[in-house]
Amino acid sequence: MDNPVTQSILVVGGGMAGMSAAIEAAEAGYDVYLVEKNPYLGGRVAQLHKYFPKLCPPYCGLEINFRRMRQNQKVRFFTMAEVESISGQAGDFTVSVRLNPRYVNEKCTCCGKCAEACSMEMDNPFNFGLDKIKAAYLPHDMALPMRYVLDPALVKSGEAQKVNEACPYEAIELDMQPKTMELKVGAIVWASGWDPYDAAKLDTYGFGQYPNLITNVMMERLAAWNGPTQGKIVRPSDGQAPQTIGFVQCAGSRDENHLPFCSGICCLASLKQVTYIREQHPEAKVYIFFIDIRATDRLEDFYAKVKEDPNIVFFKGKVAKITEDPATKNLILRVENTATEKLEEISVDLAVLATGMQPTTSKSPLPLKAAYDDYGFIAQNSGLPGVFGAGCARTPVNVSEAVQDGTAAALKAIQFIGRR
Ligand SMILES: Cc1cc2nc3c(=O)[nH]c(=O)nc-3n(C[C@H](O)[C@H](O)[C@H](O)COP(=O)(O)OP(=O)(O)OC[C@H]3O[C@@H](n4cnc5c(N)ncnc54)[C@H](O)[C@@H]3O)c2cc1C
């Protein structure tokens, strides 16, 4: 071996695809660095209430991965970390990683005294702004690492000292600074995942103006036991149980003005969310407004099962406009029924926009000149020898596909190093 240092692998993104790549490569004997920009690992999956098709809680699968990672000395992970630059050449990259300050060190026991002492609040990013959290916070109940974070605004405020003094374990370090570290790696797996498409861009729907118009990712948080309502699916405007709910499929997807592609998961996600509603509101009437339902291979069985529910109306038509009845805060969905060719206006208590998955790389590209497809996903051949896209950074995938894709990327990285 010419240079043993470059036998290591860098994985960017600690979601299902990135964690799978990191664990598989480490279990095959390679040293892996996993770099995650959030203060916790797990990616978007940590924000889901249940997984289709089995309807099991995602924490279960995450916990298995966390355990595999904790048990393997070969994976080192860094949260609140981002790649600043990559130099060198294929097989011998030098990567500069910025570590942002958490202002809380490893002595933190999660006692929560800092949050008790803190009065500053902010929108809770984990719950998509559906509630507020203290500016000294634990990102979520199963976070890895299980450690509080201080928001930079709190650290700069006059309240910082009070919060610091409330910590009985000397775990707060208000003078923590950003750091840069340099890594030498032979191959890179880029698994930076997806962002929900910005529903505010759908100007005929009025997202952001009407409290009872939410997105599918918000519905995941509303239904979750550790969400803003402790799992109660209620209307944000008045906390009442909704009796009619409308799912607006392809909200921005398959639309050349927004996301021209199909994410392949939004139909399944809405069908899954109908089961959340059914558990809590057995009499509620649900409309699914769709162009066509995309549930392929075995997921078709899940669709067929949900379809047996007589209280779901599958309405073939694309919602053109959404307005609000100011008196009731109900939403009025204007949609052409393609079966009758009639324009209808349907009022619902709560509406869910099934927005698609936008690759993070379309807003934050790699710090090297990589190849992307027409939609901003990393191309199958990234154009950069030794750099491999995985998971939703490469193409829209569900969780089991993200795991397979991460594993495949680990193998490509290993082969690449092995060939040198
Ligand atoms: C409403 C909804 C419901 C869904 N429900 C299901 C379901 O029930 N079953 C199912 O199989 N799939 C479901 N999915 C799909 C599932 O969320 C994805 O398959 C999964 O998140 C893909 O994992 P990933 O690792 O590719 O991406 P992500 O989960 O997005 O993880 C990427 C990680 O990379 C990090 N990152 C981003 N940029 C950087 C950077 N520059 N540097 C470092 N780190 C970075 C992110 O913080 C994140 O932690 C659902 C999707 C939606 C929209």
Instruction: Express each pLDDT in 161-212 by its tens digit.
Output: 999 999 999 999 999 999 999 999 999 999 999 999 999 999 999 999 999 9
- Ligand 1 proximity of 398 Cβ (cutoff 6 Å): yes
Q: What is the pTM of this model?
A: 0.97
Q: What is the DSSP string of 10-58?
A: EEE--SHHHHHHHHHHHHTT--EEEE-SSSSSSGGGGG-S-BTTTTB-H
Q: Whose CA is nearest to atom 39 of ligand 1?
A: 192
Say whether pLDDT at 419 is over 80: no
pLDDT digits (tens, 9 = 90+) for 43-74: 999 999 999 999 999 988 899 999 999 999 99
CA distance 99 to 80: 6
Kindly give the distance from the C-alpha atom of residue 15 to the centroid of ligand 1, in angstroms, as a whole number. Answer: 6
Closest by Cα among 319, 393, 353 to 201:
353
Instruction: Give the pLDDT score at 4.
Output: 46
The CB of 357 under 6 Å from ligand 1? The reply is yes
Distances (CA, A) of 408 to 75, 189, 390, 391: 18, 10, 8, 10
Output the CA 127–ligand 1 centroid distance in Å: 15
* 350 pLDDT more than 50: yes
Asked whether the beta carbons of 333 and 248 are under 8 A apart, the reply is yes
Ligand 1 center from residue 392 Cα (angstroms): 7
Cβ–ligand 1 distance for 360 under 6 Å, the answer yes
- Retrieve residue 368's tokens: 């090297």
**Torsional sign, CA 234, 238, 240, 245:** negative
Cα of 325 vs centre of ligand 1, distance in Å, is: 35
